[in-house]
Structure 1
């Protein structure tokens, strides 16, 4: 895996995370509606977003879970 792409898609009102493979091809990882994110609040949503990225990234996961 190469990384992640996070998009705030205004038309669909979704915050979407894609995995980007070594060839640059995006694959849907997860999405959250703007309304759901707003209800969570900044701190809780930011924590959820960060944890999703860390746990889905082998090198980052190794930094925290060794």
Structure 2
């Protein structure tokens, strides 16, 4: 079972998505700096975040026939 962990890391000022395997081990998937997210704007960043999760989740990809 694949899952995801999303962290807003204050120290590094990164929004990071990790893949989490069935054993609970996280692996870096992608990250965006706070500055990049702010420059994208709320709607565009929200869409990017959602697309990353959907495209990396086989069950969600199937749900949307991607």
Range class of TM-score, shorter chain:
over 0.9
TM-score normalised to structure 2 length: 0.96
Report the aligned-residue RMSD.
1.0
Counterpart-to-counterpart distance in 1, 2:2 and 2:19: 8
SS of the residue 1:4 aligns to: strand
TM-score normalised to structure 1 length: 0.96
Number of residue pairs the alignment of both structures matches: 66
SS of the residue 1:65 aligns to: coil
Per-residue CA deviations over 1:4-30 (Å, capped at 9, x if unaligned) read 000000000000000000000000000
Counterpart-to-counterpart distance in 1, 2:50 and 2:2: 17
Counterpart-to-counterpart distance in 2, 1:12 and 1:6: 14
User: What 5-or-longer segments of structure 2 have no aligned partner?
Assistant: none
2:19 corresponding residue in structure 1:
19
SS of the residue 1:59 aligns to: helix
